[in-house]
Amino acid sequence: MSLIITTYAPEGIILAGDSRLTLNWNKEINGHQTQFSITASDSNRKVFAIKNKFGLGTFGAADIKGIPISGYINQFIEEKITDETNIDDIPQSLHEFFGDGLGKPETSFYLCGYKLENNISVPHIYYVDIAHSQTNRINLDGTNIQYGANWGGETEVMMRLLNNIKINNGTDWVELTTSGIPFNFFTLQDAIDFSIYAVRTTIETFRFQQRIKTVGGPIDILAITTDGTNWIQNKELTAINMP
């Protein structure tokens, strides 16, 4: 699993995600199914820049037929995306590419970018669910552009932090209401900071809890503005000097 978050502010869009690849399997022991999990890699790619115009983040199933999904995403970009491709053409292309031929994996995407409409660059953010053949534009309410954040994958930690909760005071359940976040006043730096906060908080919470550590590794951060894409933070290949 993963945590991918897209934070959309008036100045631009931030797409961020962790780098952990977890292998899970079940094994029968003494007549009972037991789940096992190991961290296979902390250098998995989940956030991609497309043609210096769009951002793509993936979460859910990290492999297709035993092959990491990043290879298929690179193939998809090379085969299906040109310099003339509009962002609203890409969701259908994702469904076609990852559809029946690849078995409709339990994989979802966030697709972010801008499209020129009436000579104005308009932000488009899509949630694409391959397994259920669904596409939703998440930053549009009717005809109004919305600002906010949307995350997929391991969402429990952020949901607990940002939603109302109830606690038991001994005799009754009392609701604790959360304070709202003014995303419409976010600068692009605020969006970067919030994205790091969301992924880092999830990583550290998983670290201390007795649970499978499915979110971890470096945090990749891609900024998408009307000028194109810009890597704020991106893990790079390196060689470790052994003694």
Alpha helix (H) residue ranges in the chain: 69-80, 90-98, 156-162, 188-208
pLDDT given at position 169: 81
Specify the pLDDT at position 200.
97
The residue ranking higher by pLDDT, 170 or 92, is 92
pLDDT at 239 over 90: no
User: Phi and psi for 89 in degrees, rounded to 5?
Assistant: -85, -20
pLDDT digits (tens, 9 = 90+) for 53-70: 999 999 998 888 888 899
Mean pLDDT of the chain: 92
CA-closest candidate to residue 46, choices 36, 55, 57, 32: 57
Calculate mean pLDDT across residues 28-55: 86
Task: Determine the pLDDT at residue 242.
Answer: 63
Looking at the DSSP bridge assignments, the partners of residue 167 are 174
Q: Hey, what domains does the chain have and what are their CATH numbers?
A: 3-233 (3.60.20.10)
The residues, any chain, with a CB within 8 Å of residue 175's CB and separated by 6 or more, are 164, 165, 166
